[in-house]
Copies of this chain bind each other. A is one copy, B any other.
Amino acid sequence: MDEAGCQPARASAGTMGAMSGRFQTLHVEHALTTDRVATELRRAVFEGELESGTPLREIALAESLGVSRPTVREALAVLVAEGLATREPHRGVSVATPRAESVRDVCRARQVLEGAGIQAWRSATPDARRRVRATLDAYTAAVRADASYEELNERHLSFHVSLVELTGSTRLVQMADALMDELKLALAQVDRVRRNAHDQADSHESLVRLLEADEVDGEAGAAGFLRRHIADAEVEIIEALDLQ
């Protein structure tokens, strides 16, 4: 039921936009220009073209994107609502600056959402269970194929979202998507140096093996595994941010 094209084109734009390459301006059929602009801005943020803290001037964006200022304003409001940018009254919108505290908060929230997914493993639909395996396989395949940094990120985070999908709640999945977008923003600010952190595919394989063996609870089960995994990711990202 997640694949059924629900009406809010915005939700899927977040996860699909970064993967779908660069044909945004041409191929979108009846996409409203506001969404187009928002998607373009998201892409620029995720790919690090816009550094954290960069002010997003309405007039400059309107001219460079070939749209009007009200349209830009609406798109900026979307970005702000998603937490990817911040607005200060009369001082405009700028790219959000991920602080260590916000990374900790995001990871605490991930802990809850993904943990709920794992707890729901036994009662989850076979479809959702298959999807966990599928997203993991896609991730490991991308790792072996030496895919781009952005694609690895995308597939890695998609796997974690698929854990939340085990709960069967579209709202929880939406929340997880928003959290992942914030992480993508933070990761985009990290210098390209640590792009090699993606040999964790094996770790995820172990996690899914535990699930498939129905070893869910406890510190030795999938739950504990996930807790450690997210905690590791947290300190890793924070360290990367701290040393700029």
Residues on A facing B (Cβ under 8 Å): 7, 30, 32, 70, 73-74, 77-78, 81, 86, 88-90, 105-106, 108-109, 112-113, 115-116, 167-172, 175, 179
Contact = CB atoms under 8 A, between A and B. Distances in A.
Contact of A171 (B7, B116, B179): B179
A115 B90 CA distance: 40
A7 B87 CA distance: 9
A108 B167 contact: yes
Of A73, A105, A167, the most chain B CB neighbours within 10 A belong to A105
A30 B70 contact: no
A108 B169 contact: yes
Contact of A108 (B88, B108, B168): B168
Copies in the complex: 2
A168 B115 CA distance: 16
6 contacts: A7-B88, A70-B73, A73-B74, A74-B77, A105-B170, A108-B167
Given A30-B89, A70-B73, 8 more contacts: A7-B88, A74-B77, A106-B171, A108-B171, A109-B172, A109-B175, A112-B112, A112-B113
Contact of A70 (B70, B78, B171): B70
Contacts of A77: 74, 77-78
A109 B74 contact: no
A237 to B, nearest CB: 15
Nearest to A70: B70
B78 A109 contact: no
Nearest to A182: B171
Of A86, A89, A112, the most chain B CB neighbours within 10 A belong to A112
A172 B78 contact: no
A109 B169 contact: yes
Contacts of A81: 78, 81
A103 to B, nearest CB: 11
